[in-house]
Structure 1
Amino acid sequence: MPRETRRRSYDQYCAAARALDAVGDRWTLLVVRELLAGPRRYTDLHADLPGVSTDVLASRLKDMERDGLATRRRLPPPSAAYVYELTERGRGLLPVLTALAGWGAPALAERRPTDAVRAHWFAIPLLRALQARGRAGVVEVRLDEGVFHLRLGDAETSPYGDGPADAPDVCLTLDAETCVEIGSGDLTVEEGVRAGRIKAEGDAALVGVPGA
């Protein structure tokens, strides 16, 4: 597949146009979604972005480095791998992705047979729903599709991560459909627990389930 060329600037003195100059290319915001989970190796990014070619991914990462959204660094010994991670400006795109996820949530009413899925793709809408409670803590979320965790009220680290948490305050076991409903605001965790759709272990009050 031929390498995609860099899109020209819109050349408009407009904040939205300037933003789209940096992140308007196909795949860029999805790369940001992956890096919001923390530093990632190129091979891990490629695995969790099904459908992107190696040339396009490499091009997007170079563009993001040039635009000050991401950096590339080598891990200390004994690892010889390089990882990509977001800069402070790149992490500032979390509210953008949160708003996009909220706007796009109705389109998840039905999963298409061709849809790929990764558990941590549910993190952003779920984070929005649980952050509203104002509590700080770590929530581990277990789906059939995999495990991820959320860091509520912690602005100093990545807001979520792929895989289990080291020391979660509460663990939620549920299915993807229930996760979508919580993220869209159609269901609360408390309602899901009461209905038997969610199993909550630990400090369930963190996610709005008093006396669970």
Structure 2
Amino acid sequence: MSRSYGQYCGLARALDVVGDRWNLLIVRQLLMGPARYRELLDGLPGVATNLLADRLRDLETAGVVERRLAGEGNAIVYALTPWGAGLRQPIEGLIRWSTPLMVRGAEGDVFHAEWFAVALPALLGDRVAADGAATVGLVVNDVIVQVGTSTSGLDVRLHDGRDLDAVVRADVSIILGLAAGVLALDEVLGVVDVEGDEAAVRAVFGS
């Protein structure tokens, strides 16, 4: 890395690696799985292409990110190293810490439904019902994200076509509020459209 705080402190040295603008958001994208450069660019609205290239190079040099060959034609994808994947826990901690900052809503900020894959496990934590399986679709910006619960934990991904126990249509701020526990389903049923098994929705949101 080109800059350093010059402090023999774990936090300072961690920030030497991931403290630059965009670095943790790049890690957020890669926590969802390996991605091509174009996919990263699309998933990081506002980043300049040359800046993304610089940040990826820095993260690769530091050992957080690696390049892999994938698919036909030996396409290059970026992926987290095992050490880089260890950033999931601190990132989830920051997401939980951000709850008061999210209460005021999007206020024109961009939201991609795929970001639920990192945010929901962080916010829901142990509140998800563990005594049964349910798969719920969340519709935001015309994109369906499926949230599956089972005894093995929570699985969040873009809808893969499987049957859903219920479908929830709501503003992203309401879904995040439910996940963070600052809203209860009973409080928002008038403004949230639930199709299907309401019990499955309660199993996901723990309410």
TM-score, normalised on structure 1? 0.77
* Equivalent residue pairs, number: 199
Q: Deviations over 1:87-131 (max 9, x none)?
A: 222221112111212222222213223x22211223433223333
- Choose from 171, 180, 186 the match for 1:191: 186
Q: CA RMSD in A?
A: 3.1
- The CA distance in 2 between the partners of 1:182 and 1:207, in whole Å, is 10
Q: Deviations over 1:30-82 (max 9, x none)?
A: 001111111111001101111111111011111121222121112132x4421
Identity %: 33
Give the superposition deviation at 1:85: 1.2
Higher helix share: 2
Query: Which residue of 2 is the match for residue 141 of structure 1?
Result: 138
Q: Does 1:55 align with 2:78?
A: no
Whichever residue aligns with residue 10 of structure 2, its letter is A
Q: Deviations over 1:159-196 (max 9, x none)?
A: 644x21354775542321211212332124x5368556
TM-score, normalised on structure 2? 0.78
Within 5 Å, give how 1:108-147 maps onto structure 2.
108=102, 109-113=104-108, 115-132=109-126, 133=128, 135=130, 140-147=137-144
**Any stretches of 5+ residues in structure 2 without a counterpart?**
none
Query: Which residue of 2 is the match for residue 179 of structure 1?
Result: 175
Query: Which residue of 1 is the match for residue 4 of structure 2?
Result: 9
- The CA distance in 1 between the partners of 2:98 and 2:123, in whole Å, is 15
Q: Does 1:21 align with 2:39?
A: no
Give the superposition deviation at 1:150: 4.6
Equivalent residues of 2:105, 2:173 under 8 A apart? no
Equivalent residues of 2:66, 2:80 under 8 A apart? yes
Within 5 Å, give how 1:53-92 maps onto structure 2.
53-77=48-72, 79-92=73-86
* Shift in CA distance, 179/123, structure 1 to aligned 2, threshold 3 Å: farther
Give the superposition deviation at 1:200: 5.9
